[in-house]
A and B are shown apart, each in its own frame.
Chain A
């Protein structure tokens, strides 16, 4: 049967190439420079594409540039100004305007909901999935896109699937990860420490694992992710727990404390946001990790969205379809910064410490800082935050106890 023989031969050659060009060099830590060459070519191509798009599209489509700015003109004046305020003025019927305007503004656009969907790109990177507002421009661009599809699906995808197949037994996923590891490698997390980082996708773990060994802490998952987690447990006692189980949470804190106290154990890797965010901002760091004690080693991870969108929107994509998207992107490019270790200061409670670390990571990675809880992806906000607003307003109309009373 000629067809089968031919197919068999092709498969052998393919596997041999993969082995020689990719696996062997990486096992011995040698780089053949293929990735770098690919990246250079990719950058040139995308630059050309961007120029073509800009030339082809008339001025009025500056809709794209506003994607990162926001869609409504915000009036960020504090409550006093918004309520045409002098302090201590009486309640007026028109006060309701301020709150209703703020409310409607939040409905049209709020800081949080947009963080749980992928970042909009300022200029298209020839992947259909990021094509939000771009229309047909020219024949050459379309041809390039077709070429891109062929390259990504017929060359890159089989390549990565092969590597994944080989690699999944040794828990290496086959995406091309070009990590530009940072200047500050002296701050890599030490034994007995806790490493915290901002969370965008499970790939964060891979990237950090490339450069050091960690004990992981995280939410138990089902599906493919669950299989990987259980496999990892055979190699090392990582801590996988069910967040909604109170009992589980106490156990986890106990185990973490023991782990940190033992200076010979591997550093723990925790993502205090508790969920994946889309890599444009850092959300509230849960205080649990910061109560354990020990030294915190903050790490900032920033992906370059031009080459591929690394954000895992777990409510939209399962693990498998997420991996497929990763493998058909151009590449995953990220910057990792290891930052100087931090410890809790005198008189600082866990929440303040968590915020301090969060700010440091946000500044280093060039991300915006938000006080909101990542759990808002799935649950409603707590009432305590509403009380803040109510307090501010009450102070204005009642003024700390003294009241302009009009008795007749």
Chain B
């Protein structure tokens, strides 16, 4: 995380400590589930899952900050031509898209299957929509995005279907310095 200011990082660390109620030094799922505004978010559980990499049930501060780094707004200097050897910053367009992709890709196999799409849709609408309606929405969405006809949406197909979208603005949180 190159250009995050000291002050912002300090703020995030304070927040991490505030969420870590029992002062364990790391966060577990329950700590995040206690945030009211997150618990009522239809995708709350998916977002919480994104903090915990494969198999792990705890997240330390670097891990916490890494996820939040995806949402750092894209500044002017980030868009200059970069050395091929430098790693891509976490808040690049591609990485923001990767973050969104893994909200859908439940089993992390690199593809959004028809079932996964249906499950995520179900999370967002709860019991308000019938199974048939939801299935037809899923059909339509997968068909529109799927180019190679394998019945699933790969990451590249996902990126292509969103190429016109202003990701930088929709997935950015600006921390007031």
- Residues on A facing B (Cβ under 8 Å): 63, 66, 69-73, 90-114, 117, 315, 372, 376, 380-381, 385-391, 393-395, 397-398, 403, 405-407
- Give chain B residues whose Cβ lies under 8 Å from the Cβ of A389: 40-42
Known contacts A97-B167, A391-B126, A405-B136: A105-B173 contact under CB 8 Å: yes
- What distance in Å separates the Cβ of A399 from its nearest Cβ neighbour in chain B? 11
- Complex contact B170–A101 (CB within 8 A): yes
- Complex contact B68–A393 (CB within 8 A): no
- Bound CA span A161–B37, Å: 43
- Bound CA span A105–B100, Å: 15
Binary CB contact string for chain B from 100 to 128 against chain A (1 if under 8 A, 0 otherwise): 10011000000000000000110011111
Find the A residue at minimum CB distance from B138: A91
The total of interchain contacts (Cβ-Cβ below 8 angstroms) comes to 169
- Give chain B residues whose Cβ lies under 8 Å from the Cβ of A395: 128
CB of B2 closer than 8 Å to a CB of A: no
- Complex contact A106–B68 (CB within 8 A): no
- Bound CA span A387–B40, Å: 8
- Give chain B residues whose Cβ lies under 8 Å from the Cβ of A73: 173-176
- Complex contact A376–B42 (CB within 8 A): no
- Give chain B residues whose Cβ lies under 8 Å from the Cβ of A117: 18
- Complex contact B34–A108 (CB within 8 A): no
- Complex contact A71–B137 (CB within 8 A): no
Add 9 more A-B contacts to A110-B37, A390-B125 (CB < 8 A): A66-B176, A97-B171, A99-B47, A104-B68, A107-B15, A109-B15, A394-B125, A397-B125, A398-B129
Binary CB contact string for chain B from 131 to 166 against chain A (1 if under 8 A, 0 otherwise): 001001101110001000000010000100110010
CB of B26 closer than 8 Å to a CB of A: no
- Bound CA span A385–B33, Å: 14
- Show 9 residue pairs from A and B whose CB-CB distance is below 8 angstroms, ordered by the A residue: A93-B141, A104-B47, A106-B35, A376-B34, A380-B39, A385-B36, A389-B41, A397-B129, A403-B136
- Complex contact B171–A100 (CB within 8 A): yes
Find the A residue at minimum CB distance from B70: A104
- Bound CA span A98–B173, Å: 12
- Complex contact A107–B35 (CB within 8 A): yes
Known contacts A93-B162, A381-B40: A390-B170 contact under CB 8 Å: no
- Complex contact B126–A103 (CB within 8 A): no
- Bound CA span A407–B137, Å: 10
- Complex contact B121–A91 (CB within 8 A): yes
- What distance in Å separates the Cβ of B80 from its nearest Cβ neighbour in chain A? 24
- Complex contact A95–B40 (CB within 8 A): no
- Complex contact A398–B41 (CB within 8 A): no
Q: Give the contacting residue for B19; candidates A69, A101, A113, A397; CB below 8 A.
A: A113
CB of B1 closer than 8 Å to a CB of A: no
From 32 to 69 in chain B, residues with beta carbon under 8 angstroms from any chain A beta carbon are: 32-44, 47, 67-68
- Complex contact B128–A390 (CB within 8 A): yes
Known contacts A90-B137, A393-B125, A394-B129: A96-B68 contact under CB 8 Å: no
- Complex contact B37–A97 (CB within 8 A): no
- Give chain A residues whose Cβ lies under 8 Å from the Cβ of B128: 390-391, 394-395, 398
- Give chain A residues whose Cβ lies under 8 Å from the Cβ of B125: 390, 393-394, 397-398
- Bound CA span A107–B140, Å: 33
- Complex contact A96–B43 (CB within 8 A): yes
- Complex contact A94–B38 (CB within 8 A): no
Find the A residue at minimum CB distance from B22: A315
- Bound CA span A117–B99, Å: 32
Find the A residue at minimum CB distance from B161: A93
- Give chain B residues whose Cβ lies under 8 Å from the Cβ of A390: 42, 124-128
CB of B28 closer than 8 Å to a CB of A: no
Known contacts A66-B176, A104-B68, A108-B15: A394-B126 contact under CB 8 Å: yes
Q: Give the contacting residue for A113; candidates B35, B42, B47, B177; CB below 8 A.
A: B35
Q: Give the contacting residue for A69; candidates B12, B35, B71, B176; CB below 8 A.
A: B176
- Bound CA span A342–B45, Å: 42
- Complex contact A70–B176 (CB within 8 A): yes
- What distance in Å separates the Cβ of B177 from its nearest Cβ neighbour in chain A? 7
- Give chain A residues whose Cβ lies under 8 Å from the Cβ of B68: 104, 107-108
CB of B7 closer than 8 Å to a CB of A: yes
Known contacts A108-B15, A397-B125: A96-B165 contact under CB 8 Å: no
- Complex contact B100–A100 (CB within 8 A): yes
- Bound CA span A112–B161, Å: 37
- Give chain A residues whose Cβ lies under 8 Å from the Cβ of B18: 113-114, 117
- Give chain B residues whose Cβ lies under 8 Å from the Cβ of A107: 15, 19, 32, 35, 38, 47, 68
- Complex contact A112–B37 (CB within 8 A): yes
- Complex contact A72–B162 (CB within 8 A): no
- Complex contact B145–A103 (CB within 8 A): no
Q: Give the contacting residue for B175; candidates A108, A110, A112; CB below 8 A.
A: A108
- What distance in Å separates the Cβ of B156 from its nearest Cβ neighbour in chain A? 13
- Complex contact B21–A315 (CB within 8 A): yes
